[in-house]
Chains A and B, each alone.
Chain A
């Protein structure tokens, strides 16, 4: 075993003992400007762009979908940070929209997903190489990683070559890749990798085991005995048989007997294995830094698209909002709560979409109406929509114009502390005051069911005070309340009401509309409900 461990080349990147021997002549590339998928001319770390704010994550249920999106990614913290970071310039929002628009092309999206998946595998392969004990095992695994890398890069080049790209980010990356794949460095990697793989794949050998003795020899076309057995009993075959083959997990991990056998195989095939040694020295550092950066940032886009795909498949629309820092004439059509939609779609239940619009002097939605009718959902949705828009992501809805705000403030009633009414009211007021002090006319404020722990008289009084201040601040606001009077405090206030579908709990929806409550009455006959009238049955039973 000793000679198996002494000849190991060090495969750690950046430390290449045999580098000089196989160094290609033209292998020192010029320093490059790094391309980022997240922002144009981005600094070294694009994730430091904008401002991160998680204060409202739980109230808006943003934590639910950020958790779902980031949780499945290789670097959850990085993705979560991006999803909580609000951009402060419209151009960067557009920069990201461009990438999302390019990824609407399904073949391209598929290629990018495959690329990301393969690169992830390459890196986990390389990480495993360092944990392996035997030289030829390590070398085989390293070769395999390089082979995946080459395939991933080449198929991405093909995909991008044909794709109708419009984004600044992906166009720049395509240009980079085009020059990378014709570089001498990469071309040599491709050729060497293919040669080594082919040579190793040709190798067949036999082991004969008798007691403790193992003979290793070349394979010489001996027949498969299992075929004979199956043929003998073939006449009883009744259908597909259960598979009794035991699944062996071959790698990574190799015992010393397997390593000894491999040593002998290497002696039976000396040329193939010497060439492999050589290969590993020459290509110790094959992974390009720019490619790594793009791949990392790509997971932001792919993660978000993965999340919304089942929703789109269920018939829900997403759109690129017209993001503006100048106008408060905002609107959204057929929009919905992203976290709730995920839940309902997974349960196969329908999702009701809502519209909202502010015109002229209108700034504030006061939402009232029966409980369980979607008031809170409406408030969450409004907040989610603006936050998402500020991250450069597409938002729920058919069309939207949204404000690029400076801060988003959310105040939801806290469920705890019900024993201490006075303490709770005080706490509410302190928090609200802090919000109203920090908010500017470019902020968004969302207030949900405040002052429910007080008398109606107190709630009306305090509510009016808060509303006065909000009106005066000229902020965009959603104010959910049970106090009807707050809905008629002037031109800037729009009254919205939740409506309930009382019939079927499955169909109970969260429709919030302008105007007074409007009870819906359904008078379906029982037979019609069950679809067993003459007309319905004739349609159901196909002749």
Chain B
């Protein structure tokens, strides 16, 4: 029996390692907010959400399989949450029962029988839900699940289980077969299910060789009694193994069910949170290669939307057919937010979730990679450029054709001429390897180089400022300009670097915090 709620025909591998760049993705795309809104403080759900969100699907059909289940879940949230509660409850029951730490097979056996009895109760609960609610679901994933429960857990089967659980409590002696080991002691002990070895009358009259001999342990022979119970224990070794493995199999069914349902329960949590914020979401349209599609309207950074008080304004971009998108323009003009919104939406698309956009249509990438400028790196032993290039090298170990690579102010830790040259070499190599690249930069030399050489396959976006000098965070399709707007912003913020006393407290926090303020037009004044 399988849950098969995350894949049509396979289990989700919760034991798999997260992708090597998961820390970068979570940090750079500020996924923490989204994952917390999914988990609502539940450690297990946080783990499940993280694993599923980062294990991107590569097949549009597989994505749609999850999307349809998610639609069902959002329509019937109580039933889904109840099933999840049963799986969680079953595993709590298990924890309450003595575990098989013993090295004595007869103890293992009685522990396993207790566990099987507990598991049967939970299985019956699942069957009842299937009986009561199956017709309210329409997705392939959930209808199959309910049908499986009804077929595999019929009444006849519950009767068979209960017969064996009684048998396994046997106390009226066991028949154990054995062979001779290398030192002629017993080996390969096997518990046998019936006794056909009765002595016949011919044997009793001495007409055929005797087929049975007996002895009895003296009542005070404690060592002998121990040896005997040891022998019994060896005899039930295989049966204890069978029972314990059976219990484990049932638990692993519940474990899988808890994990896979856990993902949808997390999605329900996130949905509730977004609805409460007045955010609208949509289900993205995944496209398979070789179509190079990346087109959206009203795309908002979900992470920002979750922590922001105000409605976030979205971007409309059609980069379909382009292999490189270069974003230039005013500092704090929403460039980084835009880059994050693309990365986050792409990851959520590829794990089967909804996105905060009016519409989102994109190719399914083989992986999403981020290389963001890191300003806080205090532990560096080598120089900053060294660190940046070392991170780039790590990415190069993993990245393949048909991946999406997001750069944010990369290779700016040196002078512009050198930084541009390194950037040009890196990006050219990625493009020639059929990798799609988004690059936020203020290095005009770099951006202009691609404008001159790869204009037809490159989309240039620019963060504009409004006429009164205030940053807008809607991006426009526009060529790079040789200047940035740092000076403007500086003065707009009141020249707070000139004197400490002028500095507004909120702006001494992180870049993203100040970006957010500007993004919402929250001027320091």
Instruction: Specify which chain A residues have a CB less than 8 angstroms from the CB of B94 in the assembled complex.
Output: none
Does residue B1 face the partner (Cβ distance < 8 Å to A)? yes
Sort chain A's interface into a size bin.
35 or more
Interchain CA distance A256-B116 in the complex, whole Å? 37
* Shortest CB distance A47–B (Å): 34
Interchain CA distance A205-B174 in the complex, whole Å? 14
Does residue B513 face the partner (Cβ distance < 8 Å to A)? no
Instruction: Specify which chain A residues have a CB less than 8 angstroms from the CB of B223 in the assembled complex.
Output: 255-256
Interchain CA distance A206-B181 in the complex, whole Å? 14
Does residue B103 face the partner (Cβ distance < 8 Å to A)? yes
Interchain CA distance A261-B185 in the complex, whole Å? 9
In the complex the two chains form, is B104's CB within 8 Å of A532's CB? no
* Shortest CB distance B56–A (Å): 18
Does residue B239 face the partner (Cβ distance < 8 Å to A)? yes
**A-B contacts at CB below 8 angstroms, number:** 275
Does residue B244 face the partner (Cβ distance < 8 Å to A)? yes
In the complex the two chains form, is A256's CB within 8 Å of B190's CB? no
In the complex the two chains form, is B161's CB within 8 Å of A246's CB? no
Most interface-central of B211, B215, B428 (chain A CB within 10 A): B215
In the complex the two chains form, is A541's CB within 8 Å of B390's CB? no
Instruction: Specify which chain B residues have a CB less than 8 angstroms from the CB of A205 in the assembled complex.
Output: 177-179
In the complex the two chains form, is A220's CB within 8 Å of B196's CB? yes
Binds A, one of B228-236, B276-284, B287-295, B310-318: B228-236
Does residue A523 face the partner (Cβ distance < 8 Å to B)? no
Q: Closest residue of chain B to A238, judged by CB? A: B252
Interchain CA distance A163-B177 in the complex, whole Å? 46
Interchain CA distance A237-B178 in the complex, whole Å? 29
Most interface-central of A141, A229, A543 (chain B CB within 10 A): A229
Does residue A438 face the partner (Cβ distance < 8 Å to B)? no
In the complex the two chains form, is B217's CB within 8 Å of A238's CB? no
Q: Closest residue of chain A to B227, judged by CB? A: A257
Interchain CA distance A242-B187 in the complex, whole Å? 22
In the complex the two chains form, is B185's CB within 8 Å of A262's CB? yes
Q: Closest residue of chain B to A269, judged by CB? A: B180
Does residue A77 face the partner (Cβ distance < 8 Å to B)? no
Interchain CA distance A379-B187 in the complex, whole Å? 59
In the complex the two chains form, is B178's CB within 8 Å of A206's CB? yes
Instruction: Specify which chain A residues have a CB less than 8 angstroms from the CB of B181 in the assembled complex.
Output: 140, 250-251
Instruction: Specify which chain B residues have a CB less than 8 angstroms from the CB of A540 in the assembled complex.
Output: 396-397
Q: Closest residue of chain B to A533, judged by CB? A: B425
* Shortest CB distance A372–B (Å): 21
In the complex the two chains form, is B432's CB within 8 Å of A222's CB? no
In the complex the two chains form, is B216's CB within 8 Å of A213's CB? yes
Most interface-central of B2, B168, B213, B244 (chain A CB within 10 A): B213
In the complex the two chains form, is A136's CB within 8 Å of B184's CB? yes
A248-300: which residues lie under 8 A (CB-CB) from chain B?
248, 250-252, 254-258, 260-262, 264-265, 267-268
Q: Closest residue of chain B to A254, judged by CB? A: B185
Instruction: Specify which chain A residues have a CB less than 8 angstroms from the CB of B242 in the assembled complex.
Output: 226-227, 229-230
A198-244: which residues lie under 8 A (CB-CB) from chain B?
200-201, 203-230, 232-233, 235-239, 241-244
Other A-B contacts than A206-B197, A223-B194, 4 sampled, CB-CB below 8 A, are A201-B179, A217-B197, A257-B231, A258-B231
Using a CB–CB cutoff of 8 Å, the interface residues on chain A facing chain B are 132, 136-137, 139-141, 144, 200-201, 203-230, 232-233, 235-239, 241-246, 248, 250-252, 254-258, 260-262, 264-265, 267-268, 526-527, 529-534, 537-538, 540-543
